[in-house]
């Protein structure tokens, strides 16, 4: 379940805590993202197809901080136990940290994924953007450098673009996203489908967002983002590598998660939420 990391940074998403340095706030970053710490409890919503899943139990910790001047840092952890029946269980523990410059010119990422306490993926690297494109340098899983198209976006930039599209009344947004997950080399083509805005006071939440004074005055949108392996031609029958649904607030906080991995779907209920004070730009 490593790919949930990108989409979670919709509030994506989508992965390095580090030293933040001052920079002028980017003019195009109109969406003000709220520093916050959220916990989501995971359970199996549906199992289908050839892969039989009997139960899923887990939790996501999502700790987002920073601002447009100092950059945005994310600490992320997802622990999931997947029960395939007949005593077959797999425990996945993904830990990731990212840092993204406020104007999306620089991105650092580090992650480690364990399955049954055995390390299966470790990634460490950084990416930089200039007028000619995006350059990526990896130190793990092995030293490697490569270039990406200038049109790709990083996770925090992605969430800003989704919010701005929603504010503008758009219902579809297609972007190529690089988040440094898995091998640190993948770029995904994404399609965001944005539903009608839910006005403040409508469809009151019944999770940790309930009664929150900050969120009570904000509208939110139902969003579904599908992630496609880049390089595959998009056709009406193409199946995404995975998809995630959620309700996205104006300030980037997400609730009511649905993580669709094809053979099974997991729901994520926000059980804890702490909205932090946003640091002022200096």
User: From the CA atom positions of the chain, what is the Rg in Å?
Assistant: 18
The closest of 157, 225, 160, 218 to 7, measured between CA atoms, is: 225
pLDDT band at 278 (very low <50, low <70, confident <90, very high): confident
pLDDT, average across residues 120-148:
94
203 CB burial (10 A radius; 0-12, 13-18, 19+) = exposed
Is residue 189 pLDDT above 90, yes or no?
Answer: yes
pLDDT in tens, 140-156: 999 999 999 999 999 99
Is residue 72 pLDDT above 90, yes or no?
Answer: yes
Can you tell me which residue has the tokens 């480690």? 112
**pTM for the whole structure:** 0.85
Q: Worst-scoring range by mean pLDDT, 26-30, 132-136, 210-214?
A: 26-30
Which stretches of the chain are DSSP H helices?
Answer: 4-8, 155-167, 213-216
pLDDT in tens, 21-67: 223 333 344 568 999 999 999 999 998 866 678 899 999 999 999 99
The whole-angstrom separation of Cα 132 and Cα 106 is 14
């Amino acid at each position: 379940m490593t790919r949930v990391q990108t989409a979670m940074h919709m509030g994506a998403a989508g992965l390095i805590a580090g030293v933040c340095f001052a920079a002028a706030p980017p003019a195009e970053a109109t969406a003000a993202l709220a520093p916050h710490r959220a916990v989501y409890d995971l359970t199996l919503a549906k199992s289908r197809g050839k892969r039989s899943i009997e139960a899923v139990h887990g939790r996501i910790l999502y700790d987002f901080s920073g601002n447009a001047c100092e950059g945005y840092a994310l600490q992320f952890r997802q622990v999931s136990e997947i029960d395939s029946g007949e005593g077959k269980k797999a425990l996945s523990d993904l830990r990731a940290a990212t840092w993204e410059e406020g104007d999306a010119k620089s991105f650092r990422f580090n992650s480690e994924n364990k399955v049954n306490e055995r390390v299966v993926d470790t990634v460490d690297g950084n990416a930089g953007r200039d007028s000619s494109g995006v350059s990526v340098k990896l130190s793990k899983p092995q030293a490697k450098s490569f270039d990406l198209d200038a049109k790709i976006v990083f996770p925090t930039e992605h969430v800003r673009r989704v919010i701005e599209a929603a504010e503008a009344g758009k219902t579809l947004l297609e972007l190529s996203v690089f988040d440094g997950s898995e091998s640190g080399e993948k770029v995904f083509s994404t399609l965001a489908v944005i539903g009608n805005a839910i006005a403040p006071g409508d469809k009151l939440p019944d999770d940790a967002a309930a009664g929150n004074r900050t969120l009570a005055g904000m509208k939110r949108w139902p969003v579904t983002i599908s992630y496609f392996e880049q390089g595959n031609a998009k056709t009406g029958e193409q199946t995404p590598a995975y998809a995630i649904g959620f309700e996205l607030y104006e300030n980037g906080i997400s609730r009511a998660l649905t993580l669709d991995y094809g053979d099974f779907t997991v729901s994520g209920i926000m059980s804890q939420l702490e909205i932090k004070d946003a640091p002022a730009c200096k």
